[in-house]
């Protein structure tokens, strides 16, 4: 059974993502674990060993998404877990400064997805990573071929 850790300090954002996973159907077997902070994310990554971590980058704590990502990457038990940054931080690089995408990838994120996210792109990525088929009903409703 695939396990996904959703990390976001805002309950409404975790709720949206939890409901998004329902598009895979009730029989998908996806288990959702939630974390509300960077520290919580590290602890739950270690305890639950998820197959995917969807990490909010900017949380209302000093120890946020990039810090948690770096800590997870340094932990030999969970350091290979895919981490996808899901963030509203979308500044482009300029004048030699790193853009937000580069900051996320350089901290150890495997992918960078901006909010609001493209539902079709995200469901395809999750389907591919977790090897879960997108139900026909969902494909028809979303116009996925």
Helix/strand/coil for 46: helix
Q: What is the pLDDT of residues 69-116, one digit of tens each?
A: 999 999 999 999 999 999 876 556 455 566 788 889 999 999 999 888
Kindly state whether residue 67 falls inside one of the protein's structural domains: yes
Residue 6 has φ and ψ, to the nearest 5°, of -100, 120
User: Would residue 125 count as lying in a domain?
Assistant: yes
Higher pLDDT: 135 or 97? It is: 135
**Contacts from 131-135 at CB under 8 Å and sequence distance 24+?**
131/2, 132/2, 132/24, 132/28, 132/29, 132/30, 134/23, 134/24, 135/23, 135/24, 135/25
Range of the domain at 120: 39-133
Give the pLDDT confidence of 31-63 residue by residue, as tens digits. 999 999 999 999 999 999 999 999 998 877 767
Domain assignment present for residue 6? The answer is no
The total number of structural domains that make up the chain: 1
Asked if residue 20 is part of any domain, the answer here is: no
Q: Look at residue 32 and tell me if it is in a domain.
A: no
- The model's pLDDT over 5-38, given as tens digits with 9 standing for 90+, comes to 999 999 999 999 999 999 999 889 999 999 999 9
Which CATH number do you get for residue 69? 3.40.50.2300
């Amino acid at each position: 059974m695939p396990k996904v850790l959703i990390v976001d300090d805002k309950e409404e954002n975790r709720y949206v993502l939890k409901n998004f996973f329902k598009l895979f159907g009730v029989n998908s077997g996806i288990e959702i674990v939630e974390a509300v902070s960077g520290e919580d994310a590290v602890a739950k990554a270690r305890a639950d060993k998820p197959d995917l971590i969807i990490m909010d980058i900017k949380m209302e704590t000093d120890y946020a998404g990039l810090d948690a990502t770096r800590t997870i990457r340094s932990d030999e038990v969970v350091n290979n877990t895919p981490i996808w940054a899901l963030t509203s931080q979308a500044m482009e690089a300029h004048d030699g400064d790193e853009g937000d995408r580069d900051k996320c990838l350089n901290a150890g994120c495997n992918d960078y997805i901006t909010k609001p996210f493209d539902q079709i792109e995200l469901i395809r990525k999750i389907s591919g990573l977790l090897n879960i088929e997108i139900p026909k009903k969902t494909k028809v409703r979303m116009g996925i071929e």
